[in-house]
Structure 1
Amino acid sequence: MKIGLVRHFKVHCPHKRMMTSKEFREWSEKYEHSKVIKKPVEMYGIEWDICYCSDLPRAVTTAKEVYSGNIYFDKLLREVDNAPFIHTERLKLPFEIWHICGRLAWFFRSKSQPESIQGTRKRINQFLDKIDWEKENILIVFHGFMLFNFQRELRKRGFHGTNVRHVKNGFLYEYTKE
């Protein structure tokens, strides 16, 4: 059995270098609806039996480019929201600080984040418990931070594959189970 994980194409959504918490939140909302930059994805000739996809536009566009059959959209595959870790009115921080500290706040269970680490893992397992395991080759198209966390849960279920630390856009990661 094979599971293929694909992160959506790169999103065209420029940002300022320095921003307040409000500007970071506004950029995050704009990112949700921005266009993607399409590119070829090497699928290694694998015949995927089924494709599951996040229902967010950037993932939907990507899935339609890499898979030609019916696609099953699921909100459980949505990206983990990355909210500002502190609220600032005038203080501007670099974009990277907002992004990294938001993820650290999620990891350390800060109340600043809309979803907890336990909530993310629960959501991943809810999805894994409901998919059609009768299929031999399952393709999943979704988001970077979800993919990063998803691989952990696949390993717990006996799958083997590359331990991805930096998830690339529009790239297929394969996991197998005998």
Structure 2
Amino acid sequence: MKIGLVRHFKVMKDYPKGKRYSASDVTQWFQEYDLAEIEEGSTDLCGIEWNQCLVSDMTRARITAEKIFEGTILVKADLREIPAPKFTTKLKLPFLGWLILIRLSVLMNRQTRQDIKIAKERINKVLDEAVASDLENVLIVSHAALMMYMSRELIKRGFHGPKLGYPTNGKLYVFEG
């Protein structure tokens, strides 16, 4: 069996540059990112005949799946991106500072750890369904952080594939098991 992971096409929402931003500014940016359009691209599906496509219910992933897969697409809320942490500080930081805090929140923030735990449970549910389907090749279109955890879970399950760092938009990563 092959499971292909594809990150949605690039979102047309640049990181803010320049000034310092409050926690509410960062929350607002993430809300706008979730609603922004995507820059259509193309995905090399490596000549593999994909039998099924599972996709996050977020618009950027659904549009990507519709562009790259010609068949029935199953929308799964379980493939939704892990929510960004909420900060309550009055601190103002450059946007890069907030991105670093978001990365560190895995270590420092109980809610972020809980969100990741729930995301891993969702990933396991989707992968269990994909493997149980007896289909030969399943394509999954999702989001960067979720794909990173999904690739680790696939390797734990005995699949062979690339070591996935931060996934490139629109690129196929194939895992065989």
Trace 1:1-150 onto structure 2 (pairs within 5 A): 1-17=1-17, 18-84=20-86, 86-89=87-90, 91-105=91-105, 107-108=106-107, 110-113=109-112, 115-131=114-130, 132-150=132-150
User: Which has a greater percent of strand?
Assistant: 1
Structure 1 position 164 matched with structure 2 position 161: no
Per the TM alignment, residue 29 of structure 1 is displaced from its structure 2 partner at its CA by 0.7
Q: Identity across aligned pairs (percent)?
A: 37
Following the alignment from structure 1 to structure 2, what is the Cα–Cα distance between the partners of residues 100 and 47?
Answer: 39
1:153 aligns to what?
Answer: 153
Following the alignment from structure 2 to structure 1, what is the Cα–Cα distance between the partners of residues 8 and 80?
Answer: 11
Following the alignment from structure 2 to structure 1, what is the Cα–Cα distance between the partners of residues 124 and 135?
Answer: 18
Letter in 2 for 1:76: D
Letter in 1 for 2:49: E
User: Which has a greater percent of helix?
Assistant: 2
Q: What is the DSSP-based 3-state SS (H/G/I as helix, E as strand, rest coil) of the residue aligned with 1:93? A: coil
- Report if aligned partners of 1:53, 1:59 keep a CA contact under 8 Å in 2: yes
Instruction: Give the 3 Å change call, closer, same or farther, for CA 4–63 of structure 1 in structure 2.
Output: same
Following the alignment from structure 1 to structure 2, what is the Cα–Cα distance between the partners of residues 50 and 32?
Answer: 25
How well do the aligned residues superpose, as a CA RMSD in angstroms? 1.6
Following the alignment from structure 2 to structure 1, what is the Cα–Cα distance between the partners of residues 108 and 67?
Answer: 36
TM-score, length-normalised on structure 1?
0.91
- Report if aligned partners of 2:82, 2:116 keep a CA contact under 8 Å in 1: no
Following the alignment from structure 2 to structure 1, what is the Cα–Cα distance between the partners of residues 68 and 154?
Answer: 22
- Report if aligned partners of 2:107, 2:113 keep a CA contact under 8 Å in 1: no
Larger mean CA deviation between 48-57 and 128-137 belongs to 128-137
Following the alignment from structure 1 to structure 2, what is the Cα–Cα distance between the partners of residues 123 and 108?
Answer: 21
Following the alignment from structure 1 to structure 2, what is the Cα–Cα distance between the partners of residues 83 and 26?
Answer: 12
Equivalent residue pairs, number: 174
TM-score, length-normalised on structure 2?
0.91
Letter in 1 for 2:141: V
Per the TM alignment, residue 82 of structure 1 is displaced from its structure 2 partner at its CA by 1.2
Per the TM alignment, residue 113 of structure 1 is displaced from its structure 2 partner at its CA by 2.9
Letter in 2 for 1:23: D
Q: What is the DSSP-based 3-state SS (H/G/I as helix, E as strand, rest coil) of the residue aligned with 1:82? A: coil
Larger mean CA deviation between 24-33 and 108-117 belongs to 108-117
